[in-house]
């Protein structure tokens, strides 16, 4: 089924070039189908890039999906035209009475700050709490995963001695879980972060289940409330060139950055990235939509072991 996106969203033309079928609101409203309503709280600085990355993955499903974008009042993006924000994003206050089948909350470039020092912390924790009563299942990505685990369950974050940067193997701990339907015994995920959470902190909380991890990048996916909350510490949504763009940006700024691990062909930036995560990224989002958003069935980990 096609994606139902806001009229004139830049991602539409970009995705059409990839042969992804999208329709605008006016055409979708003429169809007698109730689409899944997905809201994206996009905290990343390059809004259009993140929109395109996420919409690309949401398209890999037979379900019709209607996408909306939310923003917080406590932050004015510097890298996205104000006209784009006015055209496609709504403040949380204007959406608080709506209900959604699924929600995605992205990472944010604020991980160097204690959570309480983030300027929009009060608003985003209000959104976290709202999601529990207005959303069927929520995906928390990277910083949002750390923030959600801290807010709900008191899980602290820890600074890393150097940036976790590259593509790392991940291992499903409960391969029979629907989120891993069709997965191999190992899958790959991009990571780009300066902080981490520790598995022993997660394991101390009975409401949390560590469902995937890596010997190199640590905690990967944590699940709570039967899949109504899924916390992902990496970036399965990243496009092939995203880490390359970050790497060259930091080099140009003279920042201390090492080449992303397991990313370039023959570890040579001039040869470009070797993409190893895209298939499982598509599958992860498709499984989330199908088994945790559409079917609305909380999963008991103990019954699936």
The beta-strand segments (E) located in the chain are 3-5, 22-24, 36-41, 65-71, 89-91, 100-105, 135-141, 158-172, 187-196, 208-214, 218-224, 229-232
Residue with tokens 């060259």: 248
pLDDT of residue 59: 83
196 as an active site residue: the answer is no
Q: Smallest Cα–Cα separation from 241: which of 61, 90, 111, 52?
A: 52
Q: Mean pLDDT over all residues of the chain?
A: 88
Band of residue 30 on the pLDDT scale cut at 50, 70, 90:
very low
Indicate if the pLDDT at residue 27 is higher than 60. Answer: no
Digit-coded pLDDT (tens) for 31-70? 556 789 999 999 988 888 898 899 889 987 778 889 999 9
Catalytic pick among 66, 123, 229, 235:
235
pLDDT over threshold 60, residue 90 = yes
In this predicted model, which residue has the larger pLDDT, 18 or 147?
147
* Cα-based distances in Å from 265 to 54, 244, 272, 275: 25, 12, 6, 9
**Which CA distances in Å does 272 have to 191, 241, 260, 262, 269?**
17, 8, 12, 12, 5
pLDDT: is 62 or 185 the higher one?
Answer: 185
* pLDDT value at residue 254: 92
Confidence (pLDDT) at 62: 77
pTM of the model: 0.89
Residue among 51, 191, 237, 280 flagged as catalytic: 237
CATH second-level architecture of 3-240+278-304?
3-Layer(aba) Sandwich (3.40)
**Which of 20-29, 34-43, 202-211 is modeled with the greatest confidence?**
202-211
172/245 Cα distance (integer angstroms): 29
198 is catalytic: no
Helix (H, G, I), strand (E, B) or coil at 209: strand
Residue 186 near residue 171, CB atoms below 8 Å: yes
Q: Are strands 218-224 and 208-214 parallel, antiparallel or unpaired?
A: antiparallel
Q: Which of 66, 142, 191, 196 is catalytic?
A: 142
Model pLDDT, residue 13: 63
Mean pLDDT along residues 12-26? 57
Residue 25 annotated among the catalytic residues of the structure: no
Higher pLDDT, 80 or 65: 65
Distance from chain centroid for Cα 83:
24
Dump pLDDT digits (tens) for 94-129. 999 999 999 999 999 899 999 999 999 999 999 999
51-60, 174-183, 203-212, 225-234: which has the minimum mean pLDDT?
Answer: 51-60
**How far is the first Cα of the chain from the last one, in angstroms, to the nearest whole number?**
33
- Measure the CA–CA gap between 162 and 185, rounded to whole angstroms: 28
The CA radius of gyration of the chain, in Å to the nearest whole number, is: 18
* 88 or 175, higher pLDDT: 175
* Per-domain residue ranges of the chain: 3-240+278-304
pLDDT by residue (tens digit) across 121-153? 999 999 999 999 999 999 999 999 999 999 999
Residue 73: pLDDT band with limits 50, 70, 90:
confident
- pLDDT value at position 1? 47
pLDDT of amino acid 60: 75
Would you state the pLDDT for residue 34? 77
Give the rounded percent of residues in the chain with a pLDDT score beyond 90. Answer: 70
């Amino acid at each position: 089924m096609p994606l139902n996106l806001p009229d004139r969203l830049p991602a539409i033309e970009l995705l059409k070039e990839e042969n992804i079928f999208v329709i605008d609101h006016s055409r979708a409203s003429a169809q007698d189908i109730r689409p899944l309503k997905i809201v994206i709280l996009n905290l990343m600085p390059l809004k259009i890039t993140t929109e395109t990355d996420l919409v690309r993955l949401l398209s890999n499903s037979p379900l019709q999906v209607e996408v909306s974008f939310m923003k917080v009042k406590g932050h004015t993006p510097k890298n996205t035209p104000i006209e784009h924000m006015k055209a496609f994003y709504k403040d949380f206050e204007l959406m608080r009475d709506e209900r959604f089948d699924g929600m995605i909350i992205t990472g944010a470039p604020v991980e160097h700050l204690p959570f309480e020092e983030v300027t929009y912390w009060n608003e985003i924790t209000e959104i976290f709490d709202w999601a529990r009563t207005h959303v069927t299942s929520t995906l928390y990505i990277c910083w949002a995963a750390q923030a959600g685990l801290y807010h709900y369950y008191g899980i602290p974050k820890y600074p890393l001695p150097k940036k976790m940067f590259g593509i790392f193997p991940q291992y499903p701990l409960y391969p029979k879980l629907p989120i891993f339907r069709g997965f191999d015994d190992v899958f790959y995920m991009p990571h780009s972060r300066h902080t981490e959470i520790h598995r022993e902190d997660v394991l101390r909380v009975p409401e949390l289940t560590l469902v995937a991890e890596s010997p190199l990048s640590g905690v990967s996916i944590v699940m709570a409330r039967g899949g109504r909350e899924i916390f992902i510490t990496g970036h399965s949504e990243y496009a092939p060139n995203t880490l390359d763009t970050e790497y060259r940006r930091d080099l140009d700024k003279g920042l201390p950055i090492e080449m992303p691990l397991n990313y370039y062909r023959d570890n040579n930036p001039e040869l470009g990235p070797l993409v190893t995560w895209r298939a499982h990224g598509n599958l992860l989002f498709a499984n989330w939509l199908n088994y945790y958003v559409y079917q609305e069935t909380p999963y008991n980990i103990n019954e699936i072991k």
